[in-house]
Amino acid sequence: MKKTWWKESVVYQIYPRSFFDTDGDGFGDLNGVRAKLDYLQELGVDMIWLCPVYKSPNIDNGYDVSDYQAIMDEMGTMEDFDRLLDDIHSRGMKIMMDLVLNHTSDQHPWFLESKSSRDNPKRDWYVWRDKPTNWESIFGGPAWTYDPKTSQYYFHLFSKSQVDLNWENAELRRAIYDMILWWLEKGIDGFRVDAINHLKKDYTDMPNPEGLNYVAAWEKMTNVQGIQELLEELRRETFGRYDVVTVGEANSIRAHEIGEWISEEEGKFNMIFHLEAHEEAWSEESVGGVDVDDLRIVLDRWQRSTQGIAWNALYLENHDRPRTVSTWGNDRELWRESATALACMYFFMQGTPFIYQGQEIGMTNAPFDDIDLYRDIETKNMYRYNRQKGVPHVDLMKTLQKISRDHARTPMQWNFGANAGFTGGKPWIPLNPNFNWLNVTAQQPDPQSVLSFYKKMVQLRKQHEALIYGSTHLTFLECPYVYAYTREYGQERYLVVSHLDNDTCSWWSPEEGQLLLSNYARHIDGKLQPYEARVYLLT
Ligand code: TEU
């Protein structure tokens, strides 16, 4: 495959409101990101992905943009952003922005105009209908909201404050392209493009045999026929003209479809985030482990389908998922071991690894036992709609403790001080109380810590080209809980082994191999210990 800077990069995802607060309002800010660049550089990351920092009423934490070309008050100013950009670049690092193109906030001036009258020139920039379809929105409830002023319904795939843009309208598309070009001209290095498989919809009713109020309408709102033409125009008019990297977030795309999405030949993006591993290998009801067989099937399918054609975006966590050490791993007795074994499993595959803030210190799900401790709109809606359907409060609290998006959004745990050093004020969401032992300061000096393991992984990947460009082959399939693969490149072969289980298993280490990395200080002959992980150079 062509060698490219972004293939050789490691990306760190920042959820800025929960990263570091410098002005005491309890809300992380751009200066907070700037203040922690030393930390990120020491970790070895090359690029930062910044979740939305645009002006926003924050109904969905910035994924409801009311001005694409301004910074939200809580985060700082455009001058702060420019300083951050300069600092990042002067360190030889890069930055990628989140780009929310499917919808805007209902407070965006475009929507305020659009809703002002039926004959407003921007009426058609959004989707208005006399009669709504029977679809359910992704955050629960109907996907259409009635606006009494003009007596029509507007469409929203997510919350009713996130109004879907009408991508069929050429004028709207032009306005979006101009906005993107403005950011590209500023000198940013890439985009993570939000919910991009949803740009086109087929607005017709879903079958409704059970007579539900609203019906989930996936096949009518994702990857709909004709979307590739829209994406191609987007690419051609914007990113395609710059040396930047793009990652589309595409929740329903499968490995066999990648050609038109991300192949070097005809792809519209450089990579996509798919959710398949999270959907297939872990059932939200069965916390306490991942199905290693399913994980192998899904991830290997992506590794093989992309071989020689396209590039993967590798990730374990993001701001929309609970913490993997709590879901796929064992955050109690084998917290350190399982956090590092999961890390080793995904980090050395073909693709660009993404690390989500806090993942590198093994942050866990929060023990929130009261609905008032949660902040996320999806979580709150899920609670509300299920209570209305009669699901008991206790059952819902148990579910939320496993799956809420807020588990990934509690403040970054920097040190032992008040609020883990995140803020001098009152944090916008409570901290996970385990910061009294789980934090950056505790892990920095410890060579066996999760943080030190991440640093070693990043360095290892930089030192060995095979771990970047090599082909991937599953191995040790006879060991049921071992995720193992080789990377092969020219004459070189590497072996990556992660034992994802609470017990010890028999195993035979390669006789002619040099051990490059391990998460255990002592090894047992013929065995892999619980959540033991190793990387070998095979000779
Ligand atoms: O998520 C889009 C997406 O694919 C969601 O369906 C996602 O699967 C869901 O959040 C899981 O609970 C993006 C952002 O990452 C998310 O934070 C936003 O809430 C959403 O878009 C709307 O902008």
- The one catalytic residue among 74, 164, 189, 249: 249
* Mutate which of 49, 63, 105, 315 for ligand 1 pocket (most atoms within 8 A of beta carbon): 63
Q: Is this model's pTM higher than 0.95 or not?
A: yes
Q: How far is the CA of 215 from the centre of ligand 1 (A)?
A: 19
Give the whole-angstrom CA distance, residue 485 versus residue 344.
11
At 287 the pLDDT is 47
| Residue at 509: amino acid letter | S
- Helix, strand and coil content of the chain, in percent to the nearest 5, comes to 35, 20, 45
Neighbours of 86 (CB within 10 A): 12
Whether 249 is catalytic: yes
Pocket of ligand 1 (CB under 6 A): 60, 63, 100, 138, 158, 194-195, 249, 251, 319-320, 378, 405
Q: For helices 377-388 and 393-403, what crossing angle results, to 10°? A: 150
Residue 480 CA from chain centroid, whole number: 28
3-state secondary structure of 373: helix
Give the chain's domains with CATH numbers.
11-103+170-369+410-458 (3.20.20.80), 104-164 (3.90.400.10), 370-403 (no CATH), 471-538 (2.60.40.1180)
User: Catalytic annotation on 194?
Assistant: yes
Which listed residue (46, 60, 106, 194) is catalytic? 194
Q: What is the pLDDT along the chain (539 residues), one digit of tens a residue?
A: 899 999 999 999 999 999 999 999 999 999 999 999 999 999 999 999 999 999 999 999 999 999 999 999 999 999 999 999 999 999 999 999 999 999 999 999 999 999 999 999 999 999 999 999 999 999 999 999 999 999 999 999 999 999 999 999 999 999 999 999 999 999 999 999 999 999 999 999 999 999 999 999 999 999 999 999 999 999 999 999 999 999 999 998 999 999 999 999 999 999 999 999 988 887 655 545 788 999 999 999 999 999 999 999 999 999 999 999 999 999 999 999 999 999 999 999 999 999 999 999 999 999 999 999 999 999 999 999 999 999 999 999 999 999 999 999 999 999 999 999 999 999 999 999 999 999 999 999 999 999 999 999 999 999 999 999 999 999 999 998 999 999 999 999 999 999 999 999 999 888 889 999 999 999 999 999 999 999 999 98
Q: Which residues neighbour 153 within 8 Å (Cβ) at sequence distance 6 or greater? A: 128, 129, 130, 131, 132, 144, 145, 146, 147
CA of 62 to the centre of ligand 1 (A): 12
C-alpha–C-alpha distance, residues 7 and 245, integer Å: 9
Taken as a whole, the chain contains a residue count of 539
Residue to mutate (ligand 1; options 138, 163, 272, 405; most atoms within 8 A of CB): 138
Residue 320 Cα, ligand 1 centroid: separation in angstroms?
6
* Per-residue confidence (pLDDT) for residue 283, from 0 to 100: 66
Closest CA to 422 of 7, 10, 150, 23: 23
Probe ligand 1: pick from 96, 194, 354, max atoms within 8 Å of CB?
A: 194
Are residues 310 and 352 in contact, defined by beta-carbon separation less than 8 angstroms? no
Supply the residue whose CA is at minimum distance from atom 17 of ligand 1: 320
